[in-house]
Structure 1
Amino acid sequence: MTDSPIIRLAARGDGMTADGRAVPLAAPGDMVLGDGSVVPGPHHQTPPCRHFPTCGGCTLQHVDDAAYADYLVDRVAAAMGQQGLTAEIARPHLSPPRTRRRASLRAERIGRKILLGFNEGQSRKIVDLAECWILLPELFALLAPLRGLLAILLADKRGCGVELTVADQGIDLLLTGIDPDGLAAIEAINDFAQTHGLARVSTDGGYGAEARWEPRPATVTLGGVAVGLPAGGFLQATTDGEAVLLGSVREIVGGAKVVADLFSGLGTFALPLSATAKVLAAEGARDAILSLKAAAGQAGRPIVADHRDLFRRPYTAAELSRFGAVVLDPPRAGAKEQTVELAKAKLPRIAYVSCNPATFARDAKMLVDGGWRLDWIRPVGQFRWSTHVELAASFRRQ
């Protein structure tokens, strides 16, 4: 076997040679020798975290920022290419280390030890975190004392989900797959929450989240408006990533005075846009749309909140044609049913925010075939050192 350079990163993060060999933990510019060993190149860096590469929270800590940015662009370009599309792809925004404001972890009790962290890659085995280079420091700092609480709540060989989110009032903690039983467990939760100044502690034993500690209603501020945060509610992963996506949406929407925000969630885009425009916000998650409706009403924002399943009941082309712009921010499955109608709609602009390049490219193909022009795409790497990429894209009616 001859020496061969690594020329790119594959979708799952492996280094790829020109002859198609996949080499784990190799970076572009590395040299793979004939015996299979790897000589690090200019884009290969020393991973900062002791848990890499075992921990499934990160996949690409061994590549520098330049190679990581190229990888995100390549992910988007490859998805577009599969649909026969091309577009201008801007250099990605990369969220800095230790800026993640929400995370889903796993915990398990083994004897007297509490394991708490991310799962290993492609495994249910938990990596017990001694450090973390992606979580906000205040989230990571809670893990050590949280092990003490879980030692009270978890029986041996039992586990639970741990969801952490930074709210306006502090950290919001949701424990899933656990149902505290007895006065001692409730007192332990209350003491823990009060000691560490938590915004809320909720548990979900399988019948929905139940707040166990919430001295004041937990909120997040979006567009200058405090919105009630449902337990386990969705937020963009980093504040800087959210700001870049919002800036992109504002650029696309421009001066439109009537805007539809489809898959609006809590109002990440609807609330900021409502400062200068009338907004229709549509969302299928009941708790999220009720929170947005209440917040908008209290703040006097011109938002009509519609609890609507856009997969089963998409807005029609005629309904959409009344708007000056549409913001589309679907889940990973994309918005196939809604895109069919958008492709026929007679409105000037669409801002498409996506967390899945493949379903975005599928939907983009339908829009382009319907007479839309894809102006540009801006990738955003909020999930630092992972294979996950988000993006904002600008469509204009030709």
Structure 2
Amino acid sequence: MSALAMNETLTIARLGQRGDGVAETTDGQVFVPFALPGESVRAVRDGERAQVVEILTPSASRIAAICPLFTRCGGCVAQHMGEGLYAEWKRQQVVTTLGRVAAGVAVEPPLDAHGTGRRRVTFHARREEDGMRIGFMAARSHDLVAVEACPVLAPGLARAPSVAQHLANRLGGSNKPLDLQITASEAGLDVDIRGHGPAGNALRRTLTEAAERLDLARLSMHGDTVVERRAPFHVMGKAAVTPGPGGFLQATARGEELLAELVLAALPKAKRVADLFAGCGPFSFRLAERCHVTAFESDKTAVQALQRAASRAQGLKPIAAETRDLFRRPLLEHELAAFDAVVLDPPRAGAEAQVRWLAGSKVPVVAYVSCDVGSFARDAALLLAGGYALERVTPVDQFRYSAHIELVGVFRKAAGRK
């Protein structure tokens, strides 16, 4: 705390978008992590932020955290919120942001997509005096919090901390900070290490031995496969897909299923669908059970994974896949005319360049899957101006206890609009 830090009593009025309690004071808002609406707290204040010293009047919505590292680890911000408050907080994030461009749009209650837990985790590793240390980042800090277990992870990641520690120890001689991404696949753990740089022959032998000892399905560095002992695959509809090393995957298996269900429900009569920002095909394969699909994705490795899985899958309609950067080369109106529905699942930046062309198209329905409410709102405004109506928005909560919320928005071209 700075020399200006002050100790005072604050009354929490509401929750902020990041989960902090917000107190209104005579000199502005004060953000108080881990405080809840209606609570009176004694806090040490430093400018617009404060730390709770004592909860004087606890909220009826306050519950016990499920993890002993809560408030220290930066991964979770909401383990102290009761179910009703938590769900409404996440819904209001969507309502508030969309209200600026589409006031009155129906925002449904969030769907719980946690399932059995997150199937991917990233551990950070760095050398300290007593050797390599692995863990998660502390909140608003670069300090590491040692983690022996994490209750939000899927059972398949139970041994992920020990795997990360073993691999970090093998790489500790470089003295470089590392990121170890570990994914639970149907064939075992899939690990991609970042930060070390290219692996020479000696290190590759060392890592291959480690993969054998740890019974890893695949081990890679910076997306370069060191050893693949078993293909790490994921079931997507009727397909078994092996993403590229470190490739994108929805955070939970249940989240992927729910997002796909919402997309399919939005396109009940579609015959030809463009799947934009398709990744390795989580929507493409499910859509192809009833319609022709053309998938577009900038990541060549993801497209190759999609094509390999499509060549082996049975009982699907044709899937075409093209490597294409939709930020630089969006589909134009004459290309979009070939489809009676479009699915969008862009990264956090959204899909502004593509949406501008969609807005002027005649595509009857667009199912937009978003991991960022702000970029979705910006793109939604463009579609609305182009004659689309935002039919409904469904928040999807894959990242339980975090401030992150995803959603599916369904847009339909209004009658008579081109």
Instruction: Say yes or no: TM over 0.5.
Output: yes
The whole-number CA distance in structure 2 between the counterparts of 1:391 and 1:221 is 22
SS at match of 1:245: helix
Alpha carbons of 1:4 and 1:54: their partners in 2 closer, same or farther (altered >3 Å)? Answer: closer
Q: Take 1:28 and 1:15, find their aligned partners in 2: how far apart are those partners?
A: 6
Show CA shifts across 1:10-66 (max 9, x none).
Answer: 112111246644322112342347998532211112222121212111122221222
Q: Which residue of structure 2 lines up, in the alignment, with residue 142 of structure 1?
A: 160
CA distance in structure 2 between the partners assigned to 1:72 and 1:142 by the alignment: 29
Structure 1 residue 306 and structure 2 residue 330: aligned? no
Amino acid at match of 2:141: S
Question: Is 2:71 aligned against 1:62?
Answer: no
Task: Please tell me the residue identity of whatever aligns with 1:373.
Answer: A
Please name the residue that 1:219 is paired with: 233
What is residue 377 of structure 1 aligned with on the other side?
A: 393
1:392 paired with 2:412, answer no
Is the 8 Å Cα contact of residues 29 and 43 (structure 1) preserved in structure 2? no
Structure 1 residues 257 and 47: CA distance shift in structure 2, 3 A: same
Check whether the contact 1:284–1:307 (CA below 8 A) recurs between aligned residues.
Answer: yes
Letter in 2 for 1:383: F
- Helix, strand or coil: the match of 2:146? coil
Partners of 1:34 and 1:118 in 2: how far apart? 26
**1:87 equivalent in alignment to 2:136:** no
- Superposed, 1:139-288 pairs within 5 Å as 139-155=157-173, 157-178=175-196, 179-181=198-200, 183=202, 185-204=203-222, 209-288=223-302
Say if 1:135 and 1:344 are closer, same or farther in 2 by CA, change over 3 A. Answer: same
TM-score by length of 1: 0.92
Deviation at residue 140 of structure 1 after TM alignment? 3.5
Query: How far apart are residue 275 of structure 1 and its match?
Result: 1.0
Partner of residue 28 from structure 1, selected from 37, 55, 61: 37
Structure 1 gaps of 5+ residues are none
Change (3 A) 1:215 1:131: closer
Secondary structure at the aligned position of 1:374 is classed as strand
Count the aligned residue pairs. 393
Do 2:124 and 2:137's aligned partners in 1 also have CA atoms closer than 8 Å? yes
Bigger shift: 353-362 or 76-85?
Answer: 76-85
Change (3 A) 1:33 1:108: closer
Which residue is equivalent to 1:297? 311
- Tell me how far apart the structure 2 counterparts of residues 270 and 182 of structure 1 sit (CA, whole Å): 38
Root mean square deviation of aligned Cα: 2.3
Does structure 2 retain, via aligned residues, the 8 Å contact 1:50–1:131? Answer: no
Percent identical among aligned pairs is 36
SS of the residue corresponding to residue 127 of structure 1 reads: strand
Deviation for aligned residue 1:228: 2.5
In 2 relative to 1, CA 170–379 (structure 1 residues): closer, same or farther, beyond 3 Å?
Answer: same
Distance 2:69 2:345 in 1: 33
- 1:312-352: CA deviations, max 9, x gaps? 11111232133121101000000001111111111221100
Determine whether 1:354 maps to 2:384. Answer: no
**Contact in 1 for aligned 2:148/2:161 (Cα 8 Å):** no
Please state how far the C-alpha of 1:216 moved relative to its aligned partner. Answer: 2.9
Q: Deviations 1:115-139 (Å, cap 9, x if unpaired)?
A: 2121112222211103312222331
SS in 1 for 2:123: strand
Displacement of 1:353 in angstroms is: 0.2
Return the alpha-carbon distance in structure 1 between the equivalents of residues 412 and 101 of structure 2: 19
Task: Report deviation, 1:387.
Answer: 1.1
Q: In structure 1, which of residues 8, 13, 18 is the aligned counterpart of residue 14 of structure 2?
A: 8
Gaps of 5+ in 2: 1-6, 45-51
Give structure 1 regions of 4+ aligned residues with deviation exceeding 6 angstroms.
1-4, 33-36
Q: Does 1:368 align with 2:384?
A: yes
